[in-house]
Amino acid sequence: MGQDLTGLGLNLNSQENLHPTFAGPFADQPCRAQDIEHNVPPEYLVN
């Protein structure tokens, strides 16, 4: 019967594109906001 493809951790009904938060082929959750690199002003790089 194949798999229930809705159970692979991808929000297939999302209005947004999935690839910008795609966490990879072996992850069953999309990336969270803290996983996604973002171009912040260099001053924010406090560390």
Partner 1 sequence: CDDPPGLQEKTEYLLKDWFQIYFTQINGRDPVKAFGMFINKMNMYGILKTDDMITRFIRQGTQFCIELSYRNLNDPQISQGVAKTKIFQCIDAYVRLIALLVRHSGDVGNPNMKINLLNKVLGIVLGILLQDQELRSTSFQQLGYHRFFIMLFLELSAPDPVLENLMLNIVTAFCHTYHLLNPSTAPGFCYSWLELISHRVFIGRILAQIPQQKGWSMYSQLLMDLFKYLAPFLRNAELAKPVQLLYKGTLRVLLVLLHDFPEFLCDYHFGFCDVIPPNCIQMRNIILAAFPRNMRLPDPFTPNLKVDMLPETATAPRIYTDYVKNIQPLMFKKDLDSYLKARAPVTFLSELRGHLQISNEPGSRYNIPLMNALVLYVGTQAIIHIRSKNLVPNMTTIVHSAHMDIFQNLAVDLDNEGRYLFLNAIANQLRYPNSHTHYFSCAVLYLFVEANSEAIQEQITRVLLERLIVNRPHPWGLLITFIELIKNPVYKFWEHEFVHCAPEIEKLFESVARSCM
Partner 2 sequence: PLGPSPLHKEHQFQFQMMEAAYYHLPQPCDSEKLTTYLHRQPVQTPLHYPQTQLPHSDTVEFFQRLSTETLFFVFYYMEGTKAQYLAAKALKKQSWRFHTKYMMWFQRHEEPKIINDDYEQGTYIYFDYEKWGQRKKEGFTFEYKYLE
| Residue of 33, 34, 38, 47 that binds partner 1 (CB under 8 A) | 47
Q: CB under 5 to 8 A by kind: which of partner 2, partner 1, none does 41 bind?
A: partner 2
**What does DSSP assign to residue 22?**
-
What tokens were used for 18?
């999935």
* 39 in contact with partner 1 (CB under 8 A): yes
* 7 in contact with partner 2 (CB under 8 A): no
Looking at residue 22, its amino acid is F
What tokens were used for 5?
């493809």
**What does DSSP assign to residue 19?**
G
Note the residues at the interface with partner 2 (CB under 8 A). Answer: 21, 23-24, 26-27, 29-38, 40-41, 43-47
